[in-house]
């Protein structure tokens, strides 16, 4: 049986996410909204800027007085600072004005202070100015009534500033998901405990919890599941009543010790299993007691890669966002990959002197190379790579935020 491609898997995952019940919305202060998904569009109730203002420190003139301003100068009738309400400009005068200050009625040009000489309260232009010069007009950035951000948009720092610029103090955002995280395997031990024979420390728990926290979700720590059918079923039953989503690592294959996979098959439902991706082939989409389960591989690098490429888009779609695709950047290869694989391979990599290079050992069990890396590079199935060849690079900054 042919493996499902990453593209096919993503399409099914997004469809599945869209079919789940919307988690609802809540209104929160704008200052707490970073990384949250808008539940309602943002529209401008004000022009930005709300009035014509000076683009620099200088002098405000009426262009009709240009000749006089150059010949014998004009009296400075007022000083206008940012935050002040100016008086109308007296005919035949100019105003000292500072960056961001409102333009006085009757003035239609500003000249920078370097091109004006002032002596005894009289300012004289040293060169001509044009009507509208150095003025930022009302509504230059935003017009009242315009649509700024649509529902489903993931808020970035610049978006928060944009919303603040139209006077909005609170925003409607999608409620976060309650996500339970389970690690499976008799071999797992939590950090801080001594290792016994054949045991390893549970790194996936921290990787997944950290990634979920980075995406602002509420994490329910489901702990470690030992390789026991009854305990596995009981834990899934317990967490399905608490969580909107269960994420597991390890135990989803069909081996004798893969109790999670057996419980999901016998008491739940498997909708997707085995993908044409490396690392991460055993990735699973399932349901247990009507709660979605995303089963990630147990190998640490495979768990990380499948979270970034498959779980992240699923989470965002559950929250109503359509901004699920990571931004791929074109890069030039600084390495050779002489053997073509049968699956799309996402290798850990970093940028070095303008080229992308491999970051350490690419085994699915090696996590240190992910810490050395700054992103992933896609090597499509059936292709080899030569130095200088164009590739697609996915920075961690776009996959973890």
In the predicted structure, residue 333 carries a pLDDT above the cut 70: yes
Alpha carbon distances (Å) from 18 to 136, 185, 244, 271, 313: 44, 32, 13, 15, 11
Q: Which two three-digit tokens encode residue 127? A: 């060169």
Q: Which two three-digit tokens encode residue 58? A: 């200088």
Taking all residues of the chain, what is their mean pLDDT, rounded to a whole number? 96
Average the pLDDT over 202-231 and give the result.
96
CATH architecture label of 6-23+176-318: 3-Layer(aba) Sandwich (3.40)
**What share of the chain has pLDDT > 90, as a percent?**
96
Q: Is the pTM of this model over 0.85?
A: yes
Question: Checking phi first, is residue 146 left (phi over 0); if not, alpha (psi -120 to 50) or beta?
Answer: beta
| Cα–Cα distance, 259 to 184 (Å, whole number) | 9
Dihedral sign of CA atoms 38, 43, 46, 48 in order: positive
pLDDT digits (tens, 9 = 90+) for 363-391: 999 999 999 999 999 999 999 999 999 99
* Pairing label, strands 284-288, 269-273: antiparallel
Average the pLDDT over 59-64 and give the result.
95
Q: Does CATH number 3.90.105.10 belong to domain 28-48+144-174?
A: yes
Average the pLDDT over 147-170 and give the result.
97
| Cα–Cα distance, 364 to 374 (Å, whole number) | 17
In the predicted structure, residue 237 carries a pLDDT above the cut 80: yes
In the predicted structure, residue 253 carries a pLDDT above the cut 90: no
Q: Which helix (H) or strand (E) holds 112?
A: strand 109-112
pLDDT for the residue numbered 258: 84
Q: What is the CATH number of domain 53-136?
A: 2.170.190.11
CATH assignment of 329-399, given 2.40.30.10, 2.40.340.10, 3.40.190.10, 3.40.50.150? 2.40.340.10
pLDDT digits (tens, 9 = 90+) for 286-296: 999 999 999 99
pLDDT digits (tens, 9 = 90+) for 261-299: 999 999 999 999 999 999 999 999 999 999 999 999 999
pLDDT for the residue numbered 320: 93
Q: Which residue has the tokens 């909708």?
A: 271
| Cα–Cα distance, 395 to 328 (Å, whole number) | 8
Which of 140-154, 172-186, 241-255, 301-315 comes out lowest in average pLDDT?
A: 241-255
Confidence of residue 251 (pLDDT cuts 50, 70, 90): confident
- Classify residue 43 as exposed, middle or buried by CB count within 10 Å of its CB (0-12, 13-18, 19+): middle
Taking the domains of the chain in order of start, what are their residue ranges? 6-23+176-318, 28-48+144-174, 53-136, 329-399
pLDDT for the residue numbered 1: 58
Length of the chain, in residues: 401
Q: Determine contact, residues 20/178, Cβ cutoff 8 Å.
A: no
Average the pLDDT over 128-155 and give the result.
96
In the predicted structure, residue 401 carries a pLDDT above the cut 90: no
pLDDT digits (tens, 9 = 90+) for 65-74: 989 999 999 9
pLDDT for the residue numbered 252: 83
Question: With the CA atoms of 260, 265, 270 and 274 taken in that order, what torsion angle do they form, in degrees rounded to the nearest 10?
Answer: 60
């Amino acid at each position: 049986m042919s493996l499902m491609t990453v593209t096919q898997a993503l399409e099914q995952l997004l469809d599945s996410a869209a079919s789940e019940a919307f988690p609802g919305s809540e209104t929160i202060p704008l200052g707490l909204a970073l990384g949250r998904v808008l539940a309602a569009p943002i529209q401008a109730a004000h022009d930005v800027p709300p009035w014509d203002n000076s683009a620099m420190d200088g002098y405000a003139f009426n262009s009709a007085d240009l000749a006089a301003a150059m010949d014998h100068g004009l009296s400075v009738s007022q000083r206008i600072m940012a935050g002040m309400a100016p008086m109308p400009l007296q005919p035949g005068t100019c105003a000292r004005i500072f960056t961001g200050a409102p333009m006085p009625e009757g003035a239609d040009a500003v000249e920078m202070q370097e091109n004006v000489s002032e002596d005894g309260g009289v300012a004289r232009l040293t060169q001509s100015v044009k009507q509208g010069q150095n003025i930022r007009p009302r509504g230059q950035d935003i017009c009242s009534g315009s649509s700024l951000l649509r529902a489903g948009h993931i808020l970035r720092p610049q978006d928060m500033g944009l919303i603040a610029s139209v006077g909005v103090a609170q925003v409607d955002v999608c409620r976060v998901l309650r996500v339970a995280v389970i690690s499976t395997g008799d071999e797992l031990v939590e950090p801080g405990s001594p290792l016994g024979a054949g045991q390893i420390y549970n790194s996936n728990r921290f990787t997944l919890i950290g990634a979920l926290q980075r995406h602002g979700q509420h994490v329910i720590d489901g702990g470690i599941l030992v390789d026991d059918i009854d305990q596995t079923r009981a834990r899934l039953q317990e967490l399905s009543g608490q969580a909107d989503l269960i994420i597991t690592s390890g135990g989803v294959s069909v081996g004798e010790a893969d109790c999670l996979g057996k419980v999901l098959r016998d008491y739940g439902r498997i909708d997707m299993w085995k993908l044409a991706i490396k690392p991460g082939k055993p990735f699973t989409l399932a349901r247990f007691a009507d709660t979605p389960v995303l089963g990630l591989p147990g190998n640490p690098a495979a768990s990380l890669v499948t979270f970034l490429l498959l779980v992240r888009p699923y989470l965002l779609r559950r929250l109503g966002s359509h901004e699920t695709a990571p931004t791929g950047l074109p890069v030039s290869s600084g390495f050779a990959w002489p053997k073509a694989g049968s699956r799309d391979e996402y290798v850990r990599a970093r940028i070095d002197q303008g080229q992308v290079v491999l970051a350490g050992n690419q085994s699915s069990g090696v996590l240190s190379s992910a810490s050395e890396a700054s992103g992933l590079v896609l090597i499509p199935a059936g292709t080899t790579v030569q130095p200088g060849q164009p590739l697609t690079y996915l920075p961690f900054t776009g996959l973890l935020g």
